[in-house]
Chains A and B, each alone.
Chain A
């Protein structure tokens, strides 16, 4: 049954992606700007404009462009069906390669941030829930509200000023590694992982050092809503009938806490999953502050330069990953919650 459920979800996901690709294809062409004007730059003569338009393929009927993009007109060149997301109109590089270079940077950043945020948020949220209305709970509540409402770029800049410029304990915000360090051979695109795979512990430590401030910034911001969610669900769980029954049955406190936490985790994990999908593109400000060339930076550049293939590629990939995350969430729910079965 489970395999059938996963297969059904994947088929629905592919259908959703196709619908989204077509919608995005037309929507970005409604934007009030023309990518050709950026391209011609120094030479805005009518002939050069027409030449640039031909080069981008924008002189062809829009349906022809769509068929080419989808890969249904292979005589025009490879498209989605052939595994090509097109060529960037800014750099001339294949979009697949560019996304393949930028996406791991973001995945590394936000995965590490979510792991730490989760590890911190669960005990803190539980602490607040143990005695609702107490001092600890009020402190946790205030922190979660405060952190969840802060602009990450401002805290990023503040951390740079404080920890790099003033205290000198953090590296400069110049990306994943020092300019003097040669990166490890690219295998996954995640510097920490590649450094370990290449057997370069010094590079691994340096990469972690460079991730310190961006991860701290994201943990500070992300932990707010997660703590809030854990606390609320924990409070609700601790007041539920099954916990009351467990108390009456004389179960030890640690075992009751474990049951309550399990019940509280399902909505918290849903929130983390949603936030993770959001942060794939939403970490852009932190990436910008710390000069990390992640997918957020890439997508902003694509939008600002009206690089249609890059915009379409980013939307497609991020949506695809989000759909997979939602599928994984549903499966995790089934593991956590015995009432859920597929």
Chain B
């Protein structure tokens, strides 16, 4: 064995170690192909409802709370544990049920992209801005209202004085905030995880405010959104590209991926081919067929999760003959569930036996279920007074099955399968594709769609009760998006009890009771829960599902 100069080995080892320590990790970058890039970064602005805009917001901003991890699913996607909250900008918290007050202790040393440190003033600013309802779509106010934060009532729309933030949200010191509710409400913590109450960097927002725009809506609509998130904005060209760079001071540690380019590629088939060549590492918004075609592609992985995306058939209670429960049940028994799963979603969907997402707290499977059974459907139809569908032609366009025309490539095979199956039983179904905006208008405002397929309702508040209030409670009792004009006094009354019930078990029992009623009434006809999917380079790790279905780049790293 050759002799080495004494002391050389330790010196070399020390040098190697020093080199290892001194060298930064190799820079990682990600090219993400999406159907669009953010149209705005203001959650109270006009682009807030657009999913790709939300992707921009959640990567640049930071919430007070988040969900803990429940581990990986069968595709290796990390899923949240909805029963366990973790503090994000909040380090610890306390709730006093007597005064309905939450005390939030903020983390210290949290730095934003502009070098400002998070303080209680940033939280107070965020709620003050929400209460000002000065944006085009007051999402911050809405979520605060859903969480029963005191003073966030509809009065703000009529009374200017009511838009001032009072003592319902106060800073006790630089790192402590108190928020008071007006009534017990279990939705407080779930709502705090939603992008519509992520925290602004008040100092930077004020620096970009003007006399005409004191809450910096123009700035956040068009330039940037200052916050404390894992990424900072490098550049942004609407309709084309947005580039994020890692926030090196992010309080959970600098992101593994230093730079993310999110590029708009309108044609999903182009997203597929570019991903296959390895020039991009992540793609979203593909059709089920395209995801399926990539499953065996070299260098590409497809992962998904049964999260909160689903497809249901909407039958309007105000439009005959759908006001007849026997007709609704007959439609339910005629539905080709298995065919939709196999041909519409290529197996990436499951029967949906309820009316709220199956992973949400409070979800309950009712005894009232409707398997495909054409004979039973025919019997029910005859019982309703329409043997073999005779007499149904008299209802004009009631059986025109409406769907969003822009989703033809995904929904086309599904509506065709439904049309065929229902026609065999005697329903005179025709197809009626209409533009997204027209669909939204008729669903949300006119509420006059008689018969429709809907795959775009994702209750963003992770709670069965939230979904029920959103879709099934009558407008008079606080319902928000009751698109089928369903009205049931028992449901309204039971939700009125459940909404303020502080005991989780009792609340869940009440919410289950409502779900039994909804399924018995076929308030919606739930068809399938389909998987939220992404296609990505097979060396990309850490994909995690969040209820808003937006990818967090902070979760990701390359092997």
Contacts and interface: CB of A to CB of B under 8 A. Distances in A.
Interface of A: 31-52, 55-56, 88-93, 98, 101-102, 157, 160-161, 164-165, 168, 172-175, 179-180, 288-289, 291, 293, 297-298, 301, 304-306
Contacts of A301: 239
Given A55-B136, A91-B221, A165-B273, A42 B445 contact: no
Given A91-B238, A92-B46, A93-B238, A42 B460 contact: yes
Nearest to A292: B240
Contact of A92 (B217, B239, B480): B217
A161 B438 contact: no
Contacts of A305: 437
B46 A51 contact: no
Interface of B: 31, 33, 39-40, 42, 45-50, 133, 135-139, 142, 154, 157, 196, 217-218, 221-222, 237-241, 261, 263-267, 269-270, 273-274, 276-277, 279-280, 406, 435-438, 440-446, 460, 475, 480-481
13 contacts: A41-B49, A51-B157, A52-B137, A92-B47, A92-B136, A101-B237, A173-B265, A173-B270, A174-B265, A174-B270, A179-B241, A304-B406, A304-B436
A37 B238 contact: no
Contacts of A288: 266-267
Contact of B437 (A33, A161, A179): A33
B445 A34 contact: yes
A179 B39 contact: no
Closest 3 CB pairs of A and B: A41-B49, A92-B221, A43-B142
A32 B441 CA distance: 8
A91 B47 contact: yes
A160 B270 contact: yes
A102 B237 CA distance: 11
A34 B142 contact: no
Nearest to B478: A45
B142 to A, nearest CB: 4
A33 B441 contact: yes
Nearest to A31: B438
Contacts of B276: 165
Contacts of B40: 90-92
A298 B39 CA distance: 12
A150 B451 CA distance: 37
A43 to B, nearest CB: 4
Given A48-B138, A288-B267, 19 more contacts: A33-B437, A35-B437, A37-B443, A38-B436, A38-B441, A42-B48, A47-B154, A48-B142, A49-B445, A92-B40, A92-B42, A98-B238, A160-B273, A175-B241, A179-B31, A179-B241, A291-B265, A293-B239, A297-B266
A298 B266 CA distance: 12
Nearest to A164: B273
A42 B140 CA distance: 11
Contacts of A55: 135-136
A50 B157 contact: yes
B46 A39 contact: yes
B137 A33 contact: no
B482 to A, nearest CB: 10
B460 A51 contact: no
Best-buried of A31, A42, A92, A306 by chain B (most CB within 10 Å): A42
Contact of A173 (B136, B154, B274, B443): B274
Contacts of A49: 445
Given A51-B138, A174-B274, A45 B480 contact: yes
B437 A157 contact: no
A37 B440 contact: yes
Contact of A37 (B45, B196, B444): B444
A49 B218 CA distance: 21
Contacts of A93: 221-222, 238
A148 B216 CA distance: 51
Given A157-B269, A165-B276, A37 B241 contact: no
